[in-house]
Amino acid sequence: MDRQSRRLRDVVTLEKGKPPAKKPYFGAGADYYLTPDYLRGRVPVDLVKPSANAVRVSDGDTIVLWDGSNAGEVMLGRAGILASTMTRASHGDEFNKGYFFYALKLWESFLKGQTSGSGIPHVDKEILGNLDIIQFDLLEQTKISEILSTVDQAIEQTEKFIAKQQRIKSGLMQDLLTRGIDEDGNLRSEQTHKFKDSSLGRIPIEWKVGYFEYYVVRDAGIKPGPFGSSLTKNSYSEYGYRVYGQEQVIGGSLNIGDYYIPERKFSQLSSFSVKQDDVLISLVGSIGHVLIVPPDHSPGVINPRLLRFRPDPLRCRPVFLKVLLQSQPVRLQLNVFATGGTMPVLSGGIIRKLRIVIVEVPEQDRISQALESSERVLLSNSQDLAKLRRIKTGLMQALLTGKCRVTALLVNSEVVPS
């Protein structure tokens, strides 16, 4: 047999997980409880007392998330007891474990789009059973699994490295905004430099403590978006000038979103317009996201969910202002002083009176350059990760559908098309 297409209903046995008898449980017979977040690597595993009819999973088994908002997600199992929202898809010896996982993973997006149920969505068993996967010879299945596993390992290593770099950046930011960098480019320490007590803790003797408004232009330096009838949904059009909101700031780019206003309305709202190096911050719900307006932005105005800062060029660099707003002391103040009932809300008054360190511009530049260097490393690795994921997607499409065969790899180092 070279290859043949097989319906899943003809080759798999589905076993849905069961609730544990007791959770947590640390007595005799305790076992790992395999939840979706644990299999995704996001949380530690829980110990439970298995029920009498528990479904026991082995390393490498194929697991399908059966219920919930992510129903249809395909995950690689680990040794333990299967959670009640998940199903194990078992197969016979005609399939390599790793190959079968990737072959079903190829259908994941389709399965997620075909869930059913008026309340909690779940996988449609009939739709799952009608899916086709190709059954290659076992040696070819094994080679396909090895190739895709190698890419997965590279992805996992890159993700771990990015997480490590993010921790390093967070620590660096904490150091730079409490100790700073002296004229010689050295990070200050209490052993080599003079420090003093302040309302924000120990800070270099050269620094002061003040209010956030010190760093912005006095006239219209802190400007919330227009409220009332100035900018409503009736103001929007299909073309014209952009209306910037939290979608752009949270997404990190002014090029996303599709809200516009005509020229007449733009002229009326010109005091709410943005220009290069303005700093924007989100005000409602997901508060405290920050974005600097780039030089190539489209002309536009902010909506009521944003606040615009115009940094005073004699006192502040935009990058440093962004760093300050993202620092732990400021984030804590934002969370404490935010108003609102069901969701937090910020205002210009709250931002204006934030307690911050006053640092001279030359040192701001040194601090910003150190953080931008760390950011470049993160960006480079994030781009590598995106590239690896694209490679994996392309390989899965080519290898699991038979468009590109690995039969030559079983003899030499070439991959030949079918």
Domain boundaries, the chain: 3-136, 138-184+364-418, 208-358
Q: Over 50: is that where the pLDDT of 44 sits?
A: yes
318-326 and 328-337 helices cross at what angle (nearest 10)? 60
Name the percent of the chain lying above pLDDT 90. Answer: 60
The strand pair at 300-302 and 306-309 is best described as unpaired
CB-neighbour burial class of residue 358 (10 A; exposed 0-12, middle 13-18, buried 19+): middle
DSSP assignment of 60-71 equals T-EEEE-BSTTT
Name the percent of the chain lying above pLDDT 70. Answer: 96
- Classify domain 208-358 at the CATH topology level: Adenine-n6-DNA-methyltransferase TaqI; Chain A, domain 2 (3.90.220)
Alpha-carbon distances, residue 175 vs 93, 170, 347 (angstroms): 56, 9, 29
What pLDDT score does 136 carry?
Answer: 94
Mean pLDDT throughout 51-61?
95
Q: What angle do CA 66, 67, 71 make, to 5 degrees?
A: 70
3-state secondary structure of 379: helix
Q: Are 256 and 247 in contact (CB under 8 A)?
A: yes
* Band (416; pLDDT cuts 50, 70, 90): very low
Common-topology check for domains 3-136 and 138-184+364-418: no
For all residues of the chain together, what is the average pLDDT? 89
What pLDDT score does 408 carry?
Answer: 73
CA torsion angle for 114, 116, 122, 124 (degrees, to 10)? -60
Minimal CA–CA distance to 301: which of 319, 280, 285, 324?
280
Alpha-carbon distances, residue 304 vs 113, 231, 240, 289 (angstroms): 35, 8, 19, 15
Q: Are 55 and 81 in contact (CB under 8 A)?
A: yes
Which amino acid appears at position 127 of this protein?
I
CA torsion angle for 128, 131, 136, 137 (degrees, to 10)? 40
* Band (62; pLDDT cuts 50, 70, 90): very high
Rounded Cα distance, 339 and 345, in Å: 5
In which element (H, E) is residue 154 found? helix 138-176
> What are 164-191's pLDDT values in tens digits?
998 988 888 889 989 999 999 999 999 9
Which has more confidence, 412 or 391? 391
Rounded Cα distance, 291 and 402, in Å: 45
* Band (229; pLDDT cuts 50, 70, 90): low
- Classify domain 138-184+364-418 at the CATH topology level: Helix Hairpins (1.10.287)
Mean pLDDT throughout 96-101?
96
CATH class of 3-136: alpha beta
Mean pLDDT throughout 265-294?
90
Tell me the whole-structure pTM to 2 decimals. Answer: 0.74
> What are 339-390's pLDDT values in tens digits?
887 889 998 889 889 999 999 999 999 998 888 888 888 889 999 999 999 9
Whose tokens are 């993202």? That residue is 326
* Band (220; pLDDT cuts 50, 70, 90): low
What pLDDT score does 264 carry?
Answer: 82
Mean pLDDT throughout 279-291?
91
> What are 63-84's pLDDT values in tens digits?
999 999 899 999 999 999 999 9
What pLDDT score does 1 carry?
Answer: 56
Rounded Cα distance, 15 and 57, in Å: 10
In which element (H, E) is residue 141 found? helix 138-176
Which has more confidence, 237 or 98? 98
